[in-house]
Chain A
Amino acid sequence: MTRRPLSLLGAVAALTLLPTPAHAHLVTTGLGPLYDGISHLFLSFEDLLPVLALALLAGLNGPKAGRLALFIAPAAWLLGGLAGFASGSPLLPGTVTAASFLVLGGLTAADWRLPSSGVSALAAALGLLHGWLNGASIAEAGREALGLVGIVGAAFVLVALLAAFVVWLRPPWTRIAVRVAGSWIAAIGLLLLGWGLRTPP
């Protein structure tokens, strides 16, 4: 393992030690838990942006990476969600989601060539982390776990459409546009992190 991934892991670990509790409340649409879950992903930018970043990153890494992200992230999200729902408490600091923004957005901006195992690990980490937070929040709010199916389904659709779109893009400038989008996501992560560190617990 090179120094850079190590320092990245260190940063993620440091973030997880920050004491603010994480909250990601499920949206209420009035259309039932399934649609609440679907809407949650599209209306909660702390979950939406990392999914977009993962899809962009996977798309830049080609169809195989796209396939891995498509199946691993939602599966991990469901597993993490069920575990979080069973635990009923997030137990994670609020700034932890900023880590997904930073890592995934940063890798996309850098157009980092990742091996299959790297894409798989990132997709699994994203799914487990955000799934855990969602599941715990749903349990805390006394809502139905079916909402998780909505979130996972929406994540699957989003990753499929966006990763395929990036794979399909041909002109070289489009690749730059995708990297710019990744840099915005990383910048938002940096802002969130700064805000999280600044705000007293």
Chain B
Amino acid sequence: MRRTLGVVLTAALSVVLARASYAHEVRPGFLELRETSPDTYSVLWKHPAGGEVQISIAPVFPEGCSFRTPDRQQMTPGAVIVRGTLRCEGGIGGKTITIAGLEATITDVLIRLHNADGRLESHLVRPTAPSVTLGGTTTTGQRVLAYLQLGVQHILLGVDHLLFVLGLLLIVQDRWMLLKTITSFTVAHSITLAVATLGYASAPLPPLNAAIALSILFLGPEIVRVWRGETSFTIRHPWVVAFAFGLLHGFGFASGLTNMGLPPAEIPLALLLFNVGVEIGQLFFVLLILALERAFRVLEIQWPRAIELFPGYAVGSLGAYWTIQRTLMLVGGLR
């Protein structure tokens, strides 16, 4: 009976979690306008594609703006890239650009305007406010905040990353080992995040997503071993496993930045702040789980066995679900 309850609970909550999680569908779009001569702008539009959910968004330019050259489209593994030349009578300053369809997504679009006089304007457009009126200059503080926001958002919406961290928390036996494990996961994903963002290496999205799902599934049986009092390499040295899989997750985090095609001068700032944002989100999650665990002990809660086992089952079953789903997508994509 208890076992049945555990399975039912796991299934029900897994459906909610799977429904609520659009892992890796938070890759932002990027729109760059570069003023090449008075009232004329070269346009670069990067529209995330090839993920698990098709995102239909497109920039709507203000009245009085029209393409002088037909736009050219190019398909890349993670994005559709559109280039063209835009002519706006009287300049684009003070006019509004809207990203159509953004309100129906959970992604953002970074809009960047390079004026001929050297002023740089940068806006992070969100589903809640899909329009922006151009004009003025973006301060460094605003840019810092935008990249930090992107990082926090990427980890909070990346339920697969959080589930992996939860799996590690369930395996780790003491605080010192927890510190070591979370630190090694952080170091590892920071390395690959930097390597991928700086363009030294890249991982195609479909197999990467399947491998990340596999890393979560991998932790399921290890959690069961902990419950049974058994041991394994992962249980004895969770930091090694965290480091190895952290390298993989870093490529996943990088998808939040690499799609943007940021200018080289902007990459160090963006990389640093995006990573700090990811770490803030991850630290918040870890502290929340630890605080909840302590609260349950203070309130002397005796969980039924089925509930006690639930987090482990959730990690394993969602890992299995995503592995199957993403592998099928990968195989489908190869055909």
Interface residues, chain A, with chain B CB atoms under 8 Å away? 28-35, 63-64, 66-67, 70, 146, 149, 157, 160-161, 163-165, 167-168
Interface of B is mostly: helix
Q: List 14 A-B contacts (CB under 8 A).
A: A28-B127, A28-B128, A29-B128, A30-B127, A32-B22, A32-B106, A33-B20, A34-B20, A67-B301, A70-B299, A146-B20, A157-B292, A164-B298, A168-B298
Closest B residue to A146 by beta carbon equals B20
Task: Report the bound CA distance from A64 to B292 in whole Å.
Answer: 17
B128-A167 in contact (CB<8A): no
Interface of A is mostly: helix
A157: chain B residues at CB < 8 Å are: 288, 292
B41 to chain A, nearest CB (A): 27
B15 to chain A, nearest CB (A): 11
Task: Report the bound CA distance from A32 to B20 in whole Å.
Answer: 8
A161-B292 in contact (CB<8A): yes
Task: Report the bound CA distance from A30 to B300 in whole Å.
Answer: 37
Task: Report the bound CA distance from A13 to B95 in whole Å.
Answer: 54
Residue from A34, A63, A146 within 8 A of B299 (CB atoms): A63
Residue from A29, A149, A160 within 8 A of B296 (CB atoms): A160
A-B CB proximity, top 3 nearest: A164-B295, A30-B127, A164-B298
Task: Check if B265 is an interface residue, CB within 8 A of chain A.
Answer: no
A161: chain B residues at CB < 8 Å are: 291-292, 295
Closest B residue to A29 by beta carbon equals B128
Closest B residue to A27 by beta carbon equals B128
Task: Check if B153 is an interface residue, CB within 8 A of chain A.
Answer: yes
Task: Report the bound CA distance from A146 to B16 in whole Å.
Answer: 8
A31-B153 in contact (CB<8A): yes
Closest A residue to B298 by beta carbon equals A164
Q: A29-B128, A160-B299 are in contact. List 11 more A-B contacts (CB 8 A).
A: A30-B106, A34-B20, A35-B156, A63-B300, A66-B298, A67-B299, A70-B301, A160-B292, A163-B299, A164-B294, A164-B295
